[in-house]
Amino acid sequence: MALCNREGGAVRKEYDMILVTGGAGFIGSNFILDWIGLKGEAVLNLDALTYAGNLANLASLEIDPRHVFIHGDICDSALVTSLLAEYKPRAIVHFAAESHVDRSILGPAEFLRTNVQGTFSLLEAVRSYYGKLQGAEKDVFRFLHVSTDEVYGSLGPVDAPFTEGTPYAPNSPYSASKAASDHFVRAYHYTYGLPAITTNCSNNYGPFQFPEKLIPLMILNALEGKPLPVYGDGQNVRDWLYVSDHCSGIRAALEQGHPGETYAIGGLNEKTNIEIVHAICALLDELRPSHDGPYARLISYVTDRPGHDRRYAINPTKIMKELEWEPKETFETGIRKTVQWYLDNSAWSQSVVSGEYRKWIANNYSGRNGDEQ
57 vs 283: CA distance, rounded Å: 24
Q: Quick check: 19 and 82 in contact, CB under 8 A?
A: no
The answer to whether 150 is a known catalytic residue is yes
Q: Quick check: 218 and 298 in contact, CB under 8 A?
A: no
Q: Quick check: 296 and 278 in contact, CB under 8 A?
A: yes
- Residue-wise DSSP of 152-204: G----TTPPPB-TTPPP---SHHHHHHHHHHHHHHHHHHHH---EEEEEE-EE
The DSSP H or E segment spanning 142 is strand 142-148
The answer to whether 149 is a known catalytic residue is yes
279 vs 275: CA distance, rounded Å: 6
Give φ, ψ of 266 to 5 degrees.
Answer: -125, 160
Total number of residues shown for the chain? 373
Q: Quick check: 187 and 226 in contact, CB under 8 A?
A: no
DSSP-H helix ranges across 210-367 = 214-223, 243-256, 273-287, 317-322, 331-344, 346-352, 355-365
SS3 322: helix
Catalytic residue of the set 174, 242, 263, 312: 174
The answer to whether 326 is a known catalytic residue is no
Catalytic residue of the set 73, 150, 164, 270: 150
344 CB neighbour count, 10 Å cutoff: 10
47 vs 69: CA distance, rounded Å: 8
343 vs 323: CA distance, rounded Å: 35
Catalytic residues: 149-150, 174
